[in-house]
Structure 1
Amino acid sequence: MKKLVLILTSVFLFILGGCNKENKNTEKTLTISTGAKPKSLDPSMNNEIPSLQIAKQIFNTLFTLDNNGMIQPELAESYTYISPKELEITIKKGIKFHNGEELTVDDVVFSINRMLEKPATKIMLEAIESCTAIGSNKIKITLKESSSPLLYTLSYPLTSILNKKDTISKKDNISINPMGTGPFKLIDWGDGEKIQLEAHEEYFQGKANVDKLIFRGITENTSRLAALETGELDIATIAPIDVDLVNNNKELYAVSYSTTSTEFLGVNNEKYPFNNIDFRKAIHHAINKQSIVDAVYMGMASPAKSIVNPTVFGSNQSVKGYEYSLEKAKSYLEKSGIKDIKIGLISNDNPVRLQAAQIIQANLKDIGIDVVIETLEWGTYLQYTSQGKHDMFIGGWVSGTSDSDIVLYPLLHSTYHGGAGNKSFYTNKEYDSYVELGRTETDLNKRKEAYYKAQEILDVETPIIPLYYKNDNLGLSKKIKNFKSEANTIHSYKNIEKGE
């Protein structure tokens, strides 16, 4: 009898093991690498794309943008402007956080008030005077002044809604242990090199099509490409030079799409010699933007005249810009009175940016300026540029809301020097007045006019040097279906399907 029991038990365990193995094999895991390791998963802490790309999966915002760029409710049920300075928002019921707790108006009020204290979000929401609860499912936002970009700002992952109780219990330190209402929940941060998420079973918009998401911080383009080719990655950012290579691989395909981003050369306007406008103009004329577009981006970019991408509301593409002209560059350099100068150029450890930096180095050598390039890891790069330790740096800025406000205000307003966004340390009160008007004016034509004038000032003073508007390039396994690219490069992975 004992032998029979043992035999039956063994058979049962064998069958159970087989079932578990089968379940494991049918589990869908999506592995992604977009390059840089994220600095933090606290959505309100850092306006930087590697972090927000993951935060997008973990959290939700009050609003979202549809395919036509129009505002639609997400966590919000509806909204009403009682007056230009009073906004009431009704919150959807029955939405669950990853720990099973239901989203409440207290969570929303807590999140917004917390945003008003954090540097990255304070910039974008400074028009808010207060946020209070009205009953059990409605909040009221009172503004200091009318704010045209407000709803668009509240659709950006930077303004994600947190769980009040969880955030307080973690003493506000949720950078590597966040919890939201999003389609995926964090399982393991590790050291940030391999971040693991799994599908949120009770997601209010339906469970994701894949069971797990893994984000890997592979900084080298060649290493990402190799991992994509061997199947270790399903989706990866690829260098422009590798697009044809990926398309020629029968197991892969490439996607190249326009973005709302602008790559630029940031210069420290508070440091010698960049406090000299003629020196800045000399640098601008000396840079051959087209050669960078051709050599580095293989034509998948276009030279930039304005810091605001042409796909973004309020972009002024009628500014004169700075043609590549060694003659003009040398003339402005002579006019500046600056001679025999050596300056530093910081790049993060993105090989494509490093190649661009090397071309700029060669361009400036042609007019007698020596440039020393320093390559820094992403976190150190952000720290150095925030603290103003740089002469020049290669940077990029994405308009996540497709509105000029998110570019012109944080990137160049005089009150946001340093980590808040203005790493060029530029100050111009007339410029400030125009971007401030763009925030408060409700007439779209007047808003556009204000932003146009702000960009005309930038064109004259060149405190920041727009380089090019680049495409984003991704390589994907042919097992991946339903991928939808986002112009702000912050993609949703909820609806992606992965075949065998």
Structure 2
Amino acid sequence: MKSYKFGLLILLITLVLVGCGSSDDEGSSGGDNNSSGNSVLKIAIDAPPPTLDQPVSTATSARDASRFIFEGLLTTDSEFQAVPMLAESVDTEDNKTYTFKLREGIKFHNGEEMTAEDVVASMYRWMEQSTVTGNVFNDATWTADGDYTVILELANPSSLTLDTLASAKQAAGIMPKEIVENAPASGVEEYIGTGPYKFVEWKQDQYIHYTKFEDYQPLDTPADGLSGKKEALIDDIYLYIVTDTSTRIAGLQTGEYDFAYGIPYDYYGQINGDENLETILTPAANQMIGFNNLEGIATDAKVRQAINMAINNEEVMMAAFPNPEFFWLDSGYMDRDIVNWYTEAGSEHYNQADIEGAKKLLEESDYNGEEVRFLATRDYDHHYNTSLVVTEQLKEIGLNVKLEIYDWPTVLDIQGNQPSEWEMYMTSASTVSTPPQLIGLSPRFGGVYPEVSDLISEIETAPTQEEAFEYWDELQGKLWEEYLPIVNLGGYNTLYGHNKKVEGIETLTGPIFWNVSINE
């Protein structure tokens, strides 16, 4: 059997200040009340999360904003290996039946103890909502065996089960059964998990407030990636929604914010030169163009191939990441750090920058001057900057590209729910641990080709990782040569900035704020 083992004057002044202040200013710190002497961490994020409901959204803002609250049965260590979190152990003999022994005495933020019934309800909802599950969990069943044991029975064996369960993207967060069962189609309405911080308030377009969960029970193993010991060393955390870049930078420099997302790369030297600040540069994601493969002109393979052939990837990436230190050119769908899955298959179709060849392909297609609606956002500077260059490159081959700019939640809504309103969109995909978790290959996005789905199924049901890789190597080659559900532009590092008084920040698919302290 295999086992896989966070006095009155003062009052008057305060009332005057509150009365004079505006609660509508972007980045307002009106939610930060530190009169009790509690430690407070103030984080400026660059885009509002569409939700904190983990399984529902692929947005990295949702991933990062929800990880304070929720935990899963498994998580990933710094090597992207699946390890237990809320599960004490998991055993399997055949990669088909898995027995999870739960940690006992784990409390939800509402004070109730987590039991197997909560896990079962959460896992069924995760299978229904998340796109990372692929075919691994088709017709899977979860059953409670007593209060602290859960049994997963797959329809078919899969060597990808644990990696998928541990994914940080659309994570399988455990919630109380009654919240899961009462959740409307739009998502859960109460954010209650087992994590080191609990949800307090979400003031739309201003901030999200979390507070230390006093009854949190950390693991006793060393912190490693998203795994191991989590400690809430700070009493209150505020995520301020600050979409304006200059406001985030100014707030970081003046000390209004302790940590800031979305630092423009042009500020790298300036922030490092500030004696009070430092930067974090960490691998983040692949920048890519997604196509509407359901209806419209982008369903024509030759149109997609012409677009890919025309693009000068280096020129596009340099527009957003103006230093080779900030990005890399790579044809791999899987991140180069996921060594078990990385392949260069199909790389001859990457970064061709062949305008004349692209024009010829476009002439052979069914394209007849139709408007190509290209969705992008200014919420993320790199999305906007890369979309500008791509638009100009595609106009060179005769495509009538119309760049349409929205806030990021609107882009996601149009892309996911209004297929008649777009042809292309600019996006990025954070690191995943197995190919079936790739957003661009999921049924909701690009996985609408039978052979792609067939090869994904072969990967998911392969008895060994080695056999699964052979299928993946074949599939990536065909994705570049024939299908092109996306155009992978390249990988990039994310740049964060923080005050030096904030200590202990680590990153793995986003910043980690448990085990972080403030040295005043």
TM-score, normalised relative to structure 1: 0.87
Where does residue 497 of structure 2 map in the other structure? 475
Where does residue 49 of structure 1 map in the other structure? 60
* 2:372–2:422 CA contact under 8 A, matched in 1: no
Tell me the distance in 2 between the aligned counterparts of 1:34 and 1:124. Answer: 34
Matched position secondary structure for 2:203: coil
Matched position secondary structure for 2:298: coil
Q: Deviations over 1:99-137 (max 9, x none)?
A: 221111111112112223325466476345211111231
After superposition, where does 1:348-387 map in structure 2 within 5 Å? 348-349=377-378, 350-386=380-416, 387=418
User: 1:24, CA displacement in angstroms?
Assistant: 4.1
1:466 maps to 2:500: no
Instruction: Check 1:172–1:28 CA distance in 2 against 1; reply closer, same or farther (3 A cut).
Output: farther
1:444 maps to 2:469: no
Where does residue 6 of structure 1 map in the other structure? none
Instruction: Check 1:69–1:252 CA distance in 2 against 1; reply closer, same or farther (3 A cut).
Output: same
User: 1:167, CA displacement in angstroms?
Assistant: 4.2
User: 1:55, CA displacement in angstroms?
Assistant: 1.3
Where does residue 195 of structure 1 map in the other structure? 208
After superposition, where does 1:64-103 map in structure 2 within 5 Å? 64-103=75-114
User: 1:428, CA displacement in angstroms?
Assistant: 2.1
Matched position secondary structure for 2:112: coil
Tell me the distance in 2 between the aligned counterparts of 1:275 and 1:133. Answer: 44
Among candidates 323, 331, 343, match of residue 372 of structure 2: 343
1:309 maps to 2:309: no
Among candidates 102, 118, 121, match of residue 107 of structure 1: 118
Instruction: Check 1:121–1:161 CA distance in 2 against 1; reply closer, same or farther (3 A cut).
Output: farther
Instruction: Check 1:98–1:290 CA distance in 2 against 1; reply closer, same or farther (3 A cut).
Output: same
User: 1:170, CA displacement in angstroms?
Assistant: 6.5
User: 1:245, CA displacement in angstroms?
Assistant: 1.9
Where does residue 20 of structure 2 map in the other structure? none
Higher helix share: 1
Q: Deviations over 1:64-95 (max 9, x none)?
A: 22223222211111111143321111001111
Instruction: Report the residue type matching 1:200 in the other structure.
Output: F
After superposition, where does 1:78-477 map in structure 2 within 5 Å? 78-120=89-131, 123=134, 126-127=137-138, 129-157=140-168, 158-168=171-181, 175=188, 177-191=190-204, 193-205=206-218, 207-237=231-261, 238-259=263-284, 261-298=285-322, 299=324, 300-312=326-338, 313-319=340-346, 320-322=348-350, 323-336=352-365, 338-349=367-378, 350-386=380-416, 387-388=418-419, 389-400=421-432, 402-407=433-438, 410-413=439-442, 416=443, 420=444, 422=445, 424=446, 427-461=448-482, 462-477=484-499
Q: Deviations over 1:258-306 (max 9, x none)?
A: 23x2111112234443233222222112111101222320121123423
Where does residue 15 of structure 1 map in the other structure? none
Q: Deviations over 1:150-206 (max 9, x none)?
A: 212222342010011344467687645311110000111122530000011111016
* 2:192–2:199 CA contact under 8 A, matched in 1: yes
* 1:254–1:476 CA contact under 8 A, matched in 2: yes
User: 1:235, CA displacement in angstroms?
Assistant: 1.3
Matched position secondary structure for 2:248: helix
Let me know the Cα RMSD of the aligned residues: 2.5
5+ unaligned residues in a row in structure 1: which ranges?
A: 1-8, 11-22
Q: Deviations over 1:437-476 (max 9, x none)?
A: 1111131111111111111111112232111111111011
Where does residue 18 of structure 1 map in the other structure? none
Where does residue 497 of structure 1 map in the other structure? 517
User: 1:337, CA displacement in angstroms?
Assistant: 6.0
Instruction: Report the residue type matching 1:493 in the other structure.
Output: F
Count of aligned residue pairs for this structure pair: 468
Rg larger in 1 or in 2?
1
Q: Deviations over 1:245-267 (max 9, x none)?
A: 211222111111123x2111112
5+ unaligned residues in a row in structure 2: which ranges?
A: 1-6, 9-33, 219-229
User: 1:25, CA displacement in angstroms?
Assistant: 6.6
User: 1:483, CA displacement in angstroms?
Assistant: 0.7
Instruction: Check 1:295–1:42 CA distance in 2 against 1; reply closer, same or farther (3 A cut).
Output: closer
Tell me the distance in 2 between the aligned counterparts of 1:204 and 1:72. Answer: 17
User: 1:390, CA displacement in angstroms?
Assistant: 0.8
Instruction: Check 1:266–1:301 CA distance in 2 against 1; reply closer, same or farther (3 A cut).
Output: same
Matched position secondary structure for 1:371: strand
Identity across aligned pairs (percent)?
A: 24
